[in-house]
Amino acid sequence: MTQTVTYTRHGAFAEALIDNPPVNATSASVRAGLAAAIRTAEEDPAVQALIIRCAGKTFIAGADIKEFGKPIAPPQLPTVIRMMDEARKPIIAAMHGAVLGGGFEVALACHYRIATPSTKFGFPEVKLGLMPGAGGSQRTPRLAGLAMTIKLVTEGGQIDAKTAHAHGLIDEIAEGDLGAAALAFAERLVAAGKGARSARDLPMPADDPALFEAARKTLARKMRGQTAPLKALEAIRLGYEMSFDDAVVRELEMFREAMAGPQSKALRNLFAAEREVARIPGLPETLAPRPIKTVGVIGLGTMGRGIAMAAANAGLPVIAVGLDLNNLDQALRAIGKMWSGNVAKGSLTQATMDERLALITPSADPTDLAAADLVIEAVTEDMAIKTEVFARLGAVTRPGTILASNTSYLDIDALATASGRPEDVCGMHFFNPAHVMRLLENVRGARTAPDVVATIMAFGKRIGKLPILSGVCDGFIVNRMLAKRSREAFFLVEEGANPEAIDKVLVSFGFPMGPFALGDLAGLDVQAAARKARKASATARELRADFVEQMVAAGRLGQKSGAGWYRYGEDRKPAHDPETDRLIAAHAQKHGLLRREVRADEIRERLLYAMVNEGAKILGEGIAPRPHEIDVAMVNGIGFPAYTGGPMFWADQIGLGKVLASIERFRADYGDEYWAPAPLLVAHAGQGRGFYG
């Protein structure tokens, strides 16, 4: 019937089989094919029911994102769904895999629904700054009630077939072959005299204003700053304010308004960027990665333990090398404790935990790493120690074994030289906690072999990470940009800004926390060690702003000691601490600093534009091949709000000319040492273009 929909007769029953790889998205040909199938079935007197099923791994898993922002070819999805509503013969959705977004709306518009036990259902639109646009906000409550609808439509999560069945969203869970089960289901319907039915004809559930208000407060807290979840909640209420048909029309208008808005554009760009970063410019897609059957981890502190867990979580054997037997025992007990926590929460079974623990082989002898295909070093962040470790690794591992450092800012090329096998050496910077955090900052050295790059990118995906590729520089992408934000935060405190006010500005912008609360969480002793390691390259003013060192000397390490920039009680919530005020005042007096009132807009611009300018330098130097890597890294690494699209996309939306004008103003006030604009930023602003073109 069309390229992507095949219409077949099975006696008195017709089947429309969608085959539109990879996820059977509702692209134009699918919509046209479904419309034609419905018309054909309706016009054929021999057909008693129509089954809609999909080939491949999934039912319709959403809209065709390539069509977003472009004129939509007819028929549009609401038109096809209206045809289902008006059909006289039963239409049955036979579902497997993921039934998401527009695919879920198609299923809900069918008159009956059958699914395999493993099928998942959801409306992920809010994660792209959108909401259902083809009746999802109206059919779902009529079938499943308010509470389930609010959860599905506003939060973007998924439910399983058992839950969907319990809430009336599907009629039957299929056993065995889905095609055969759907045909048998259709036969039973017809034999029982059951005809077409539509969710549009069902009444809305009893209104519950208190439930809506509670949901509104929860969304404002959990999805702070995002407009789509609250718009989706508003769309559900339409069913109480107007007829079904009018509500569906208004829902579509709201969907289109959201699509044209800045948050959806940003989130869709980020969605595309997360897929683009997997394709490395200049690296042939046909390049085969090296086989990784066993992973080695050397250094079993907090990061090494997390890395070992991440590999074991993916089913990979791990050789875990520690300093001595006592160190190994501590590490294994810590790993067991973390997994036991998951068992207690019900997210992991005891049997799975035992299997994962069995994959980790402890050793105090680095020569045991000869059996590993990839060794990840996670020893203390000291260049002399790491150099010694890499020299040893180069000697005890097989040629071709990949040697990766988890360093967050040290020179990968120097470690590569120390190994004697620079082509096998790379960086793999995990974020803490390593078994939880999604981002993996892979680092390509000057002499890293291309197939090593291909391997570590593939390995990152294999262990459930989001890998991006960086070149070698101090701090790579995330910590290099974050260092500029930290610099300005310390300078602003010297100049007169309150740490709480600085944190508040960034939280209001959309960050989960500000730089000072983040420092307390990570540990000021850790931050002090990083400052010490970078002392040789720091400026006189950066060294003068030694607040962190002063706090550590006073035993104020952050949350772990009960006090840092803030004071902490048993609930670990930050509270104002007068001791911090006294420390800042004494610092200003010691250095003869005259503090002033600093406005929120200056705080915001200095912290964010410092990162944007550094990002432009990273691009100009070729450390990151595209702005995509930077935005994906900063959103997933430090919580730059996703609904802005990341720092580089956000700067594009502001306009690089405007960003440059502010940077030039700061340059005039604070000098080239800190605010020399990146040449790439100057060039792009002069051409009236953005980082994305």
Distance CA 239, CA 244 (A): 6
The residue from 61, 63, 308, 312 that is catalytic is: 63
Give the three-class secondary structure for 341: helix
Helix axes 679-687, 600-620, angle to 10 degrees: 100
Which residue type sits at 376? Answer: I
Cis ω for the linkage preceding 75 (within 30 of 0) = yes
Q: Is 102 a catalytic residue?
A: yes
Q: Is 67 a catalytic residue?
A: no
Give the three-class secondary structure for 118: coil
Which one, of 201, 10, 198, lies nearest residue 90 by Cα?
Answer: 198
Q: First and final CA of the chain: distance in angstroms?
A: 40
Which one, of 650, 574, 575, 641, lies nearest residue 612 by Cα?
Answer: 650
The residue from 125, 488, 605, 629 that is catalytic is: 125
The residue from 102, 299, 475, 514 that is catalytic is: 102
Which one, of 93, 25, 224, 661, lies nearest residue 216 by Cα?
Answer: 224
Give the three-class secondary structure for 112: strand
Distance CA 528, CA 662 (A): 31
Q: Is 276 a catalytic residue?
A: no
Residues 6+ positions from 241 with CB-CB distance below 8 Å: 247
CB 107 within 8 A of CB 95: yes
CB 7 within 8 A of CB 37: yes
Which residue type sits at 649? Answer: F
Give the three-class secondary structure for 296: strand
Distance CA 105, CA 223 (A): 24
Annotate 521-570 with DSSP letters as a single string: HH-HHHHHHHHHHTGGG--HHHHH--HHHHHHHTT--BGGGTBSSSEE-T
Q: What is the dihedral of CA 266, 271, 272, 275, to 10 degrees?
A: 150
Distance CA 688, CA 163 (A): 52
Distance of CA 454 to the CA centre of its chain: 21
Q: Is 125 a catalytic residue?
A: yes
**Burial of residue 173, with CB atoms counted within 10 A of its CB: 0-12 exposed, 13-18 middle, 19 or more buried:** middle
Distance CA 320, CA 309 (A): 10
CB 444 within 8 A of CB 453: yes
Annotate 481-528 with DSSP letters as a single string: HHHHHHHHHHHHHHHT--HHHHHHHHHHHT-SS-HHHHHHHH-HHHHH
Angle, CA 467 vertex, CA 314 and CA 617 arms, to 5°: 160
Distance CA 645, CA 513 (A): 18
The residue from 105, 251, 441, 614 that is catalytic is: 105
Q: Sign of the CA dihedral 105, 108, 112, 117?
A: positive
Residue whose pair of structure tokens reads 């952050």 in the numeric block: 558
List residues with catalytic annotation. Answer: 63, 102, 105, 125
